[in-house]
Amino acid sequence: MENIEKIKEKATYCLGCKLKPCSKGCPIGTNIPEFIKKIKEDNFEEAYKILHENNIFSHICSLICPQEEQCEGSCVRGIKQKSTEIGKLEQFVNEWAEENNFELPKQTITENKKQKIAVIGSGPAGIECAYELRKKGYNVTIFEKEKEIGGILTYGIPDFRLRKELIENIIRILKEMDVKFETEKELGKNLHISELKEKYDAIFLGIGAEIPSQYDLGNFEKIYDSDYFLKSYNNKKFIKDLGDVVVIGGGNVTMDCSRAALRMGATSSSILYRRDEEHMPAREIELEEAVKDGVKPVFTTRVINAEGENRKIESVKCIKTKVIDGKAIDIPNTEFNYKANTVVFAIGLKPNKEILDKEGLQYNEKNLIEIDENCQTNIDRVFAGGDLSESKSTVCRAIASSKKAANSIAKMLEEGE
């Protein structure tokens, strides 16, 4: 935990703007000037209350959210100087509460309503939707395809970036509120919308984007997608004999894969990214941490295919690129080979189109579920949020979309009474 005097200095730097541009930059509208004001007053308990009454994921968001693009990116201070370090202040408040065993009183459900709601997916979107609806008194059951609850927070983000106890704390809160959980239930396989609609008054889909994007490198072993690679790390089922690892991509997931590779015993770990550092979507801090771990980033480089014998990769054939108007353009006659034994694709995930088709859900040209202004899909009483309905969603944006969906579900059920 950072020194209190340094934290007070960071808090004092905040202007406490009445118009709260930082709060407007936060997808879930956290009252940022108010919690910082409480830090200035040494009232850390109240600061914690302000944060958690709006966002039970506050501690997690302080660690993994791209504040520089959201709240800090909207800070007035940042126009001519550096922005107020909102993320650091939020992190401090949560660490202070943890060290001092301070918790909010348990949520009391004032009225248990008869309606039942099914939430499919236990990532940030599903958990938030369930939490908001249970607070309103609705009976909620969360269905999860994996053995463990938490979605991307459990299986996607590695422990060196996010302590698993933080996720377990949130799950504990939901269980104390009597939210029900059913694991190893997968939409389109042993769980279907048509059957759920017979038992539940509304359904929320928060299954996220689960199909990895990749392209053909040839018929070789040891080519993985980021989803499988990170699950292997997070489940402690380390992939053996990785050798020299190349991760293709440039986002935060790329950084996670490259760092996880070293922890699984890779001889070396490199990131090959087709654009330059300026256009890299990963957070600056994530790239810095990867480099500290010993990861080698290689920019303006596109991987063409893998080369080797007997399906064993010995290198990847690459070509240098130049960035024009944000696009990576191949430079003729610049092909070269880069030593590699394992390749990991970390170039994005997309929703499972096969399942969407099977369940009768409409989607757009990006394969994202079509929802209206109330987050409702084309199927009556079925709502969606998070990565399923918006591209490149952050945890904070997933929370915001599921809050909105929960309010829409509650309004629909209230009007139907």
* Residues whose CB falls within 8 Å of the CB of residue 98, separated by 6 or more in sequence, listed in order: 59
CATH superfamily of 212-345: FAD/NAD(P)-binding domain (3.50.50.60)
Residue type, 81: Q
Taking 90 as the threshold, does the pLDDT of residue 412 lie above it?
yes
Q: What is the pLDDT of residues 329-344, one digit of tens each?
A: 999 999 999 999 999 9
Tens of pLDDT along 133-158? Answer: 999 999 999 999 999 999 999 999 99
| pLDDT value at residue 120 | 97
- Whole-angstrom Cα distance, residue 349 to residue 233? 18
pLDDT tens-digit map of 32-66: 999 999 999 999 999 999 999 999 999 999 999 99
Give me the pLDDT at residue 108, please. 83
The class that CATH gives domain 4-99 is mainly alpha
* Domain ranges across the chain: 4-99, 116-208+351-416, 212-345
What integer pLDDT is reported at residue 106 of this predicted model?
85
Q: Band of the pLDDT at 417, cuts 50, 70, 90?
A: low
Give domain 116-208+351-416's CATH architecture: 3-Layer(bba) Sandwich (3.50)
Could you report the per-residue pLDDT of 58-113, keeping only the tens digit for each?
999 999 999 999 999 999 999 999 999 999 999 999 999 999 999 888 888 878 89
- Which region among 300-304, 314-318, 354-358, 398-402 has the lowest average model confidence (pLDDT)? 354-358
Q: What is the mean pLDDT of residues 15-19?
A: 92
What mean pLDDT is predicted for residues 361-387? 92
pLDDT class for 327, splitting at 50, 70, 90?
very high
* Residue 2 binned pLDDT confidence (cut-offs 50, 70, 90): confident
What are φ and ψ of residue 93, in 5° steps?
Answer: -60, -45
What is the chain's mean pLDDT, rounded? 95
Q: What is the pLDDT of residues 179-234, one digit of tens each?
A: 999 999 999 999 999 999 999 999 999 998 888 999 999 999 999 999 999 999 99
Domains 4-99 and 116-208+351-416 share a fold: no
pTM for this prediction: 0.93
So what's the pLDDT on residue 107? 84
- 252-301 pLDDT, tens digit each: 999 999 999 999 999 999 999 999 999 999 999 999 999 999 999 999 99
Q: How confident is the model at residue 416 (pLDDT cuts 50, 70, 90)?
A: confident
- The arithmetic mean of pLDDT across residues 346-352, rounded, is 89
